[in-house]
Each structure stands twice: as C-alpha cells, then as structure tokens.
Amino acid sequence: MEGRRKMIASILKTGSLETGRKPLRMPAEVLALISALQLSGAGNRQLIELADAQWRSLLEFCDVAHLTLPLAQLLPDGFPQWVVDQLRKNLVDNALRFDRVVATYRETAAALEHAGVEHIVIKGFTQAPDYVADPRLRRQGDLDIFCPPEKIETAQRALKAIGYETLCEDVSYALADHGPSLVRTGNWKWKGNPFDPEMPIDIELHFCLWNERVSHIGDPGTERFWERRKVREVAGLRFSCLSPIDHLVHLTLHIVRNLFLGDWIIHHVRELAVFLHSHANDEVFWQSWHETRTASQGSFAAIAFYHACAWFGCLLHPLAAHEIDSLPASHRSWLQYFSGSALEIMFAPNKDALWLQLGFLCSRREQWRVFKRTLIPSRIGSIRSPGVQVRNKRLIHSAGRPLWKQYAGYLLSRTAAHLRAAIVTLWRGFRWRFSQPSELANGNRRYAFHG
C-alpha cells in the first residue's frame, strides 16, 4: 500500500512516474489524464490547467489509446466547452455504434450456428459490466470470436456466404492469434471519427487463446477455457463467453502477451484496474480464482496486477497481492525497475520487456531466438499497412508524397528507431542486472503492492 501511495504521489507532485531507474517523463497532458483516472485519490486539477493545444494533443492521444470514453466519464467541471462538446459527441456516437455491434454479432452468431460452428466471444462487450460499467462506454472496432481451430475454415465460409470478405492488406499476421480480418465491403469512407456509427464492424476469428509460437512459452492452461465457457447476457444480447475466472486470466495473459510484443496496453490495464478495485473484497471470487488458476497463470496475472496497481492505484485482494509476493525475485525486481516502460513506449520506443520474457524461458536456444527476434526484427513493416499511417500511434498524413519516398522515409525511420531501441535496451538491461543484488538485499517485499 505504501509503495503505491508513493508512486501516485510522484505522478502528482513531479509530473513523472518514478521507477527504479529514473523518473519516467511523459507529456504533461498524459500525466494529467493518468492522475485523473486514478481509482484512489484521483483529481482533475491538472486537466483543468491544460491549454487548448494540450487538450488537442490529449484528445488525439486518447483516440489512439482507447481512453477517450474513460476521459468522457470524468466530471467536466473546468474543462473547455469545446472539449466537453467533443466528448459528449463521442459518447453519443459510440452508443449508436454499439447498436451496430449488436446487429453485427446477432447476424454473425446466426450464420455460425447455421454452419454448426460453436464459438465464444472474447474482449469487446464481454468486458461489461465488471471491467467497464456499460458496453456503450467502451470503444469496439471489431468482433473477436474464438472457435475450435478445426472449425476456423467452416466459420470463414459461413461469414463469406453472408457477404464478408478477407480484408486485403499487406499486413503480416505472424504475431496474431487470428487470421486476416473479415469485413463487409461497402461505400463507407473514413472521415476522421473513430466513433463513427456507420463504420463497419470487422470480424476476427481467433484460433487460440495463448500463442505459444509468439511467446515461446508453453500454454499456461487455456486449453480448459473452452469446456468451462458460460452463457451471459449484456444489454439484451445473449452470447457464449469465458467463465468469469477464465475471463480475468485471459485478460492478464493478453496484457502480458502485448507487453512482450511492445504493444500499447494502457486501456487493458485500466479495465483490469477497475475490476481489481471493485472486487477487492470479493472473497468468494478470489478464493475460486486461487483454486482454479495454474501456477503459470498466477505468475502472468501478478505482472498484470502490478501494472494495474502501479499505474491506476487500484485496491488488491490479499490473494492477488500474495501472487505478486510469490513471483521470483528477478521478476519483482524487473517490475520495480521497469514498471513504467510500457507507458514510456507510447512516446519513445523501448524493448525493456525483453528481459522479463527471457526470465520465463528455460531453454538457452529459445532465449537466443527471442533475444534476436526482439532486437533485430526480420520484418519492419509494410508501407501499405495502417501502422505506416501512424507514427508512435499518432495520426500522420502522407497523401501527396510519392510512394517510394514514403517507403524510403519509413524504412529509414523504423530502422533508426529499432537500432536506437536496441542500444537503449542493452544499456538498461545491463544496469538492471547489476542493480539487482543491492536492491534485492534491501528486502524482496518492497516490490509488492497491497490493497
């Protein structure tokens, strides 16, 4: 508890997240948002003090980070009127968009049922009501459907029969847990509104719930999720999904997976923090979770729990806190030293999660493969992919430039970014390794948070 209070106080006082190596610097407007989204001791003071230019930057960041709707739920007292109007429009548009999500899912479920394909829904509206109060308050761009791997082709045929087509992109799905997105073509065009009610809903058919090929870590027990699936109802929509315990496990696995891949995890961590905070006193749930989760699931969950508590000040049930305490000393040391890296990565590339991932690998061969793949990626990306239109996940415009100039500029910038990140990663890893003995000697339990 004391460690969490100090970290929150550091954000509020110094404008930076204190880590084991140094204060983590981020744009003032993003720090103001994190302060306002705290689940203990939150305040809007820093947001109210933002200038219009900072508000524009923050709203752009929130659209990409999926934090616009959490921001919209804060008390708007003192916000500029144009910001209030924009956020209200986002809420209205997203509520209308959810109607499209519902219609799309009902049609999809009917097609799959007709084809004899059983499935479960993951992520998206299944986050309500435990991780987000209402599905209309969560941005959803696609439907994530899991079905047994042997049924994937049948499911694809069923959806193509009702007008869906494979999204034609020069994008690699080597690191994905699903095949190419399926979308129904039409006349819709992007108008700059990520909450556009008319925007089509893509469908992603997932063939696994943990990708061993990506993580090089064996399945932590997701093979039993299917047999434990449940039927739920949210906002009048009836669907099959993960059991409540498996849902939490899957979310924490998803967070750790994306942490390893260097993807943005802030909105997933915020939703996890909401759940942990509201269920901190749920003895029945946590006892059941403790009895059901495997040892590896508990380790991955502890990493996600730590991030949720460190970033958003949520309470933790004693069993969740105990899971953090039970981590190997090197993992707790990594969390204390690099707890802000996944925030920093949104503004400056880093590969600090490499050192955590290597700690889960027993084989020297696998460690070398992950080390090489992370520091020297074999594929930088495609000029035609949506990612090229985003630099550090900030929207950019490349219209009017010759394609070869776009590609050359992109290739050079990405190569330089990977090289810089590799050098920084090696240096930070070196410093962390040499800092471990003295830090651990001061007491292992200093790295755990308690609610």
Give the mean pLDDT per block of 10 residues along the chain (451 residues).
43 42 78 94 91 97 97 92 97 97 97 97 97 97 95 96 80 74 87 93 95 87 95 96 98 96 95 98 98 95 97 96 95 93 91 94 88 74 40 45 61 72 84 68 35 31
Residue 424 pLDDT:
82
Residue 385 pLDDT:
39
Residue 450 pLDDT:
29
Structural domains of the chain, ranges and CATH numbers in brackets: 99-242 (3.30.460.40), 244-451 (no CATH)
Determine the Cα–Cα distance for residues 48 and 45; give it in Å rounded to an integer: 5
Residue 392 pLDDT:
41
**Using the 8-state DSSP alphabet, how is residue 137 labeled?**
G
HEC letters along 12-40: HHHCEEECCCCEEECCHHHHHHHHHCCCC
For residue 223, what are the CA distances in angstroms to 1, 247, 360? 35, 13, 20
Residue 348 pLDDT:
85
Q: What angle do CA 419, 424, 430 make, to 5 degrees?
A: 130
* Of 322, 316, 319, nearest in space to 290 by CA: 319
Tokens of 203: 């469908």
| Residue 220 and residue 297 in contact, taking contact as beta carbons nearer than 8 Å | yes
Determine the Cα–Cα distance for residues 24 and 146; give it in Å rounded to an integer: 37
* Of 429, 341, 425, 436, nearest in space to 24 by CA: 341
| Residue 222 and residue 251 in contact, taking contact as beta carbons nearer than 8 Å | no
